[in-house]
Amino acid sequence: MTLLGWGCSSSSSKSEAGNQESQSENVQKASDGLTSFQLKNGIGPITQEVKVGPLDQKLVSKGEDLFENKCSSCHKIGQRYVGPDLKEVTSRRTPTYIMNMMMNPEGMIQKHPVAHKLLEKFATPMANMHVTKDQARAIVEYFRSVNPNTQK
């Protein structure tokens, strides 16, 4: 069943391992068609840049709970697991990018050159856990709280 999904769905996130040529071609195409907003903030339901302020502790604890439920099977803070270490993810990516990555992992992996490159490295595509916009925002706040570079 899964194989069918891989084969048929053009919106599917996955590229087959070993098919390097078409992968790099996809990267080329992907970056070609993207706006500078998309390159910086990702592709997905968040199309206005999300501004963050001082750390909101209430939001942090909500985000921590969501992270444990929906993300911790594949991500740890401070170590690589199935996916990348997310301790300093807010230094690498904008809050908007992170939210789009959570809410539209299939589209991001397929169309965004940075997300696509990560799939080559980690091989397991990021799962869509159907987080809402509010939930994604809370998880970003949690990521900010664990990043030592965040001004607190």
151 touches another protein (CB under 8 A)? no
Q: Is the dihedral of CA 84, 90, 93, 99 positive or negative?
A: positive
State which of residues 2, 11, 36, 151 lies at the interface with another protein (CB under 8 A): 2
Based on its alpha-carbon atoms, the radius of gyration of the chain, rounded to whole angstroms, reads 16
Q: How many CB atoms lie within 10 A of CB 151?
A: 6
Query: Whose Cβ is closer to another protein: residue 79's or residue 91's?
Result: 79
Binding to another protein, residues 101-130 (CB under 8 A): 123-125, 127-130
Q: Which amino acid is at 146?
A: V
Shortest Cβ 126–another protein spacing (Å): 9
Residues 6+ apart with CB under 8 A from 116: 23, 26, 27, 30, 109, 110
Closest CB to another protein among residues 4, 58: 4
Residue 52 Cβ vs another protein, minimum distance, rounded to whole Å: 26
Could you tell me if 59 and 109 are in contact, meaning their C-beta atoms sit under 8 angstroms apart? no
Shortest gap between Cβ of 7 and another protein (angstroms)? 10
19 to 78, contacts with another protein by CB under 8 A?
A: 68-70, 72-74
- Measured between alpha carbons, how far is 76 from 87 in angstroms, rounded to an integer? 8
Token code pair at residue 9: 């769905």
Residue 28: helix, strand or coil by DSSP? Answer: helix
| Closest approach of another protein to the CB of residue 4, in Å | 7
Q: Which residues bind another protein (CB under 8 A)?
A: 1-5, 8, 14, 16-17, 68-70, 72-74, 81-82, 123-125, 127-130
